[in-house]
Amino acid sequence: MIANPSINQPLSDQDGVMETFTYDDRIVRWFAYATMAWGLIAFLAGLIIAFQLAFWPLNLDMPWMTFGRLRPLHTNAAIFAFACNAVFMGIYHSTQRLLKARMYSDWLSQIHFWGWQLIIVVGAITLLMGYTTGKEYAELEWPIDIAITVVWVAFAVNFFGTLFKRRERHIYVAIWFYIATIVTVAILHIVNSLALPVSFLQSYPVYAGVQDALVQWWYGHNAVAFVLTTPFLGLMYYYVPKAANRPVYSYRLSIIHFWALVFMYIWAGPHHLLNTALPEWAQTVGIVFSIMLWAPSWGGMINGLLTLRGAWDRLRTEPVLKYFVAALTFYGMATFEGPLLSIRAVNALSHYTDWTIAHVHGGTLGWNGLLTFAILYYLVPRLWNTKLYSNKLADAHFWLAVSGTGIYMLSMWAAGITQGLMWQALNAEGQLTYPDFIVTVTRIVPLYWVRGIGGTLFLLGFLVMLWNMYKTIQSGQIETPKVRQGRRLVPLDRLGADHMGDQPHRVLEGLPMLFSVLTVIAVLIGSVISIIPALTVQEFLPADKTYRPYTPLELAGRDIYVREGCYTCHSQMIRVSLDETMRYGPPSKLAESQYDRPFQWGSKRTGPDLARVGQKYPDMWHYRHMNNPRDIVPQSIMPNYPWLLSDSLDFEALGNKLQVMQTLGVPYSDAEIIGASQQAQEQAAGVAARLREGGVTDPDLETKEILALIAYLQRMGQKESVQP
């Protein structure tokens, strides 16, 4: 009577077809190698720039060795080379085991690996050459951005393909964290990187001023959330139970942790722009969500730590567990500090100071670094079928890393709070106690040395680990992958009546992959549709026509400002507070940055704010200052920029730059675009004439880059060019 028993008779998970398969551990080993290699580069670059702040001659008067170019190299290497490769290593290893399936395509795995390494190499070279978008943690230029998108899509297809053909019905919580990472990073990266190319390695963002600031920090905050937090939490939820050999303290809590995090994180970005010209209500949204984030973050930390209940004695003998415990502790500290720093009053003190630097390094060195080391110590012996070469060396590394991080954070907390209080200090007459910015810098330079010592210890520990890993790998051998058996999953709607829900739900669950893909496409299309009006309609610009766009020469100078990474030490955003108004002038207004692509509000003041530096000093002051800042401010720690005085400016390229700006909605007339080069040369001649009066004898002065930079600096805070 029953034609097809498989339709009408209830099946169970035991009825799936038995299959054999192996795991691809070669790709995991490759990512492990990459993690260790790039870690060395990232930490070394960090150490160099740390000492550059303590001892300025280390900038070596060479363009590619200056702080402004090395600092983006350090952050990009730490986040996208070291941390990302660690994440890929852990995801490729744990996903296969959690889903009981080999990665969907070995070919895609290879594309992912080699593509990512190529991006890192090209990124490092272009950053050192000065090709940068000038947006923190998103500095790589547009061709590399496209490559990142392509490789990320390859990763996503590979991952979701594996998820689709999994042999384990339940999706373990770690996988959810990976899914959130892959989906959200794609959206963040694409939205923040939208730009119009000017040339092969230069572009202007489609957003300007406050819009660019908001998009950038929405990205910047969520890069921390979805590159340095969610994937590492996923890894934590897999590797801590594995290393401790006991289930996570509360699986239920881990599920709540995940869903709470992904719903809240996306809203917290504005806390990077507190007390600025950003509307107050938008700031408040950022604050509220930041403080709410404290709860799920600490829930996760406690869940990880309590997983070790009853196993605390093993910390004495197993270095891996010690690393996990310390990493989770740093996660707890950083996620407590984050909401704290998001409170307006605290932020007024901490922002632009080294307190922020202390905070991020607590997260990256303490949480991401130690967790990565823990996973390496856990994985490498297993991947090479051997034992760790030396537990003692692993122990030594642990103490070097933890003390190094501790010294780093303590010194930068002290430096940040000291400098913040000095900036705010008023004397009995109501005047600034420290009107000279440089006094607040020299006060904390000793702490920069201390920070350098902390970084040295951390790097030394890492070198100890590399030696330990080298000896471990040498003693091991790669075995042929073990052949495993598992059953193919039976579709849920064929599992029998007791598993079935109502009709619409059955339709949905048959198409989970298609469903999620369609949803993501819908979101992306929606995003694009919302962006287009912002690009084309004039009303979308915060129009204050009393401000004139930059002249061609000023625009060229601005590009130099971006190229040299001036934003890594100077802000262009005077906040709403008494001391800042007294020190720098009236608070910045949104209209002042309406033509700024990219915005250069900055996030750190190693030097003073520059929003109103225009017309404050004569041209000759800037000329001498850029050649050697110590000719003007003897204690200055700023690098020399002698090449700006000797390199020639490409005047012919300016027409094209104006053209792109016009396309983006900046009100340049066609005549201005055609005459850009000539107008720039005229303005440059004016600057040059003033410099010659000051005693500059360079015969080719009229063609030099420095003229453009001076023109831009003199324009800051002015409604239009002042040309006496």
Query: Which residues of the shown chain bind another protein in the complex (CB under 8 A)?
Result: 97-98, 100, 168, 170-173, 176, 179-180, 183-184, 187, 191, 207, 210-211, 214-215, 218, 238, 241-242, 245-248, 251-252, 255, 259, 262-263, 266-267, 279, 282, 382, 484, 492, 499, 501, 505, 508-509, 512, 515-516, 519-520, 523, 526-527, 530-531, 533-534, 539-542, 590
Q: Using the minimum distance from each CB to another protein, give the nearer residue, 57 or 512.
A: 512
* Of 158, 176, 164, the residue nearest 113 (C-alpha): 158
CA pair distance 641, 699, nearest whole angstrom: 19
| Min separation Cβ 533 and another protein, Å | 8
Closest approach, Cβ 262 to another protein, in A, equals: 5
Q: What is the CA radius of gyration of the chain?
A: 28
Q: Which residue has the tokens 């990009």?
A: 76
Between CA 217 and CA 215 the distance in angstroms is 6
Q: 351 near 417, Cβ under 8 Å?
A: no
Shortest separation between residue 206's beta carbon and another protein, angstroms: 10
Q: Kindly tell me which of 100 and 625 has the beta carbon lying closer to another protein.
A: 100
Shortest distance, position 280 Cβ to another protein, whole Å: 12
CB of 156 to another protein, least distance (A): 14
User: Of all helices (H) and strands (E), which one includes residue 203?
Assistant: strand 202-205
Minimum CB–partner distance for residue 353 and another protein (Å): 28
- Asked if 550 and 679 touch (Cβ cutoff 8 Å), the reply is no
Closest Cα to residue 407, out of 361, 438, 350, 473? 361
Q: Which is nearer to another protein, 2 or 514 (CB)?
A: 514
DSSP result, 346-405: HHHHHTBSHHHHHHHHIIIIIIIIHHHHHHHHHHHHHHTTS--S-HHHHHHHHHHHHHHH
Q: 3-class DSSP state for residue 407?
A: helix
Nearer to another protein, 62 or 507 (CB): 507
Contacts of 11 (CB under 8 A, 6+ apart): 490, 494, 495, 496
In the complex, what is the shortest distance from the CB of residue 585 to another protein, in angstroms, rounded to a whole number?
A: 23
Distance in Å, CB of 360 to another protein, minimum? 23
Distance of CA 677 to the CA centre of its chain: 36
7-31 burial, b if ≥16 CB within 10 A, otherwise e?
eeeebeeeebeeeeeebbbbbbbbb
Nearer to another protein, 58 or 534 (CB): 534
How many Cβ atoms are within 10 Å of 147's Cβ, its own excluded? Answer: 17
Taking the C-alpha atoms of residue 432 and residue 422, their distance in angstroms, rounded to an integer, is 9
Least separation in angstroms between residue 527's CB and another protein is 5
Closest by CA position to 439, among listed 422, 417, 415, 420: 422
Residue 431 C-beta: closest distance to another protein, Å: 36
Indicate the residue among 124 and 194 with the shorter CB distance to another protein.
194
Residue nearer to another protein on the CB measure, 67 or 267: 267
Residue (197 or 533) nearer to another protein, CB: 533
**Which residue lies nearer to another protein by CB, 573 or 713?**
573
Cα torsion 394, 398, 399, 400: sign: positive
**Smaller CB distance to another protein: residue 533 or 694?**
533
CB of 512 to another protein, least distance (A): 6
Smallest gap from Cβ 462 to another protein, in A, equals 27
Minimum separation from the CB atom of position 515 to another protein (A): 7
Query: By C-beta, is 286 or 717 nearer to another protein?
Result: 286
Residue 263 CB, nearest approach to another protein (Å)? 6
Measured from the CB atom, is 253 or 633 closer to another protein? 253
Cβ-based nearer residue to another protein, 90 or 241: 241
**Closest distance between another protein and the C-beta of residue 171, in Å?**
6
122 vs 520 by CB, closer to another protein: 520
At 595, the amino acid letter reads Y
Identify which of 59, 180, 381, 441 has the alpha carbon closest to the alpha carbon of residue 171. Answer: 180
Q: Which of 121, 56, 72 is nearest to 637 (CA)?
A: 56
Least distance in angstroms from the C-beta of 534 to another protein: 6
Query: Under DSSP, is residue 240 helix (H, G, I), strand (E, B) or coil?
Result: helix
Nearest to another protein of 261, 341 (CB atom): 261
Which of 306, 296, 316 minimizes the C-alpha distance to 247? Answer: 306
CA distance 89 to 83: 10
For another protein, give the closer residue by CB, 64 or 263.
263
Element (H or E) spanning 195, and its range?
strand 195-199
If you ran DSSP here, which 8-state letter would residue 704 be given? B
Per the CB < 8 A criterion, the answer to whether 210 and 599 are in contact is: yes
Q: How many CB atoms lie within 10 A of CB 54?
A: 18
Question: Distance (Å, rounded) from C-alpha 175 to C-alpha 240?
Answer: 15
The 3-state DSSP composition of the chain as helix, strand, coil percent (nearest 5) reads 70, 5, 30
